[in-house]
Structure 1
Amino acid sequence: MSLGITLVSHVPEIAEGLPKLLNQVAKDVPITTAGGTNDGDIGTSMEKIMNAFDDNEADEILAFYDLGSAKMNLEMAMEMTDKKTVHLYDAAFVEGAYTAASLIQAGVGLDEIESQLKPLKIKD
């Protein structure tokens, strides 16, 4: 089982920039993004999220988002994807993704990753 990360942000530049940080600690972790709407505005896009899932080479995806409507679109995309499993986390966006990426890179299992993400939960 391989683990990867998908990041969903309302701001295209955040979705593009965060993987640059994560690659510093997790160069071997597949990271895909969906940032902004289809026309590059602020918001989210189901099409971009589905493409991010499809483009991620991992068997299972850990998904992180910035705002509530991104979560709604992620939940709909999770129902439609062919990926084995997508795990959605209500954690702080940057801190959660950084924690998960560094732990995946270190070979830590999903149970321990989820345990370490619990203190970062800030959304419901």
Structure 2
Amino acid sequence: MIGIVLVSHSRALAEGAAELARTLGGGRAVVHAAGGDADGGLGTSPELVEAAIAAADDGDGVVLLADLGSSVLTCKLAAEDAAGRVALADAPFVEGAVAAASLAAAGADLAAVRAAAEDARNHRKIS
């Protein structure tokens, strides 16, 4: 199953979004949070991201979703280091996480899970 890692500057935000995605994904999706810096403050920790990727990856791959700024850069570097196994989705954080979790739980592959996360922005358009 494709794993999902949510990377945020806030530990609480990452954990809350992960809980929501797991729940709305039917409880079967593998969703890990990598939020905050190594000391628990605001920021992004490459070490926490790497650990979350390792925990989420059962061999099928991992989709990363990032909230903003340096978390996007951290995810880009992680995806480059694990090319073909880890993909960064350009997606809204919460909606993308839920869409990715739903498709991952259904057994979709890495490209399809990433595409579902990215397509989530189209479901939020107002007007």
TM (normalized to structure 1)? 0.82
What is the CA–CA distance in structure 1 between the aligned matches of 2:108 and 2:81, rounded to whole Å? 28
- The aligned residue for residue 106 of structure 1 is 106
Q: Does 1:13 align with 2:12?
A: yes
Give the total of aligned pairs: 119
Q: CA RMSD in A?
A: 2.1
> Comparing 85-94 with 53-62, which one deviates more in the overlay?
53-62
1:42 corresponding residue in structure 2: 42
Q: Does 2:76 correspond to 1:75?
A: yes
Cα deviations across residues 37-77 of structure 1 (Å, max 9, x unaligned)? 01111110001001111111432101100002101111222
Counterpart-to-counterpart distance in 1, 2:68 and 2:111: 25
1:51-70 matches, within 5 Å, as 51-59=51-59, 60-70=61-71
User: Within 2, Cα distance between the matches of 1:50 and 1:104?
Assistant: 20
Q: Secondary structure at the match of 1:24?
A: helix
Query: Unaligned stretches of 5+ in structure 1?
Result: none
Give the drift of 1:32: 1.3
Deviation at 1:25, TM superposition (A): 2.3
**Which shifted more, 42-51 or 109-118?**
109-118
Q: TM-score, normalised by structure 2?
A: 0.81
Q: Is the 1:12–1:35 Cα contact (8 Å) retained in structure 2? A: yes
8 Å Cα contact 2:32-2:55 kept in structure 1: yes
Cα distance change on mapping 1:119 and 1:54 into 2, 3 Å = closer
Deviates more, 1:69-78 or 1:104-113: 104-113
Does the CA contact (< 8 Å) of 1:9 and 1:65 recur in 2?
yes
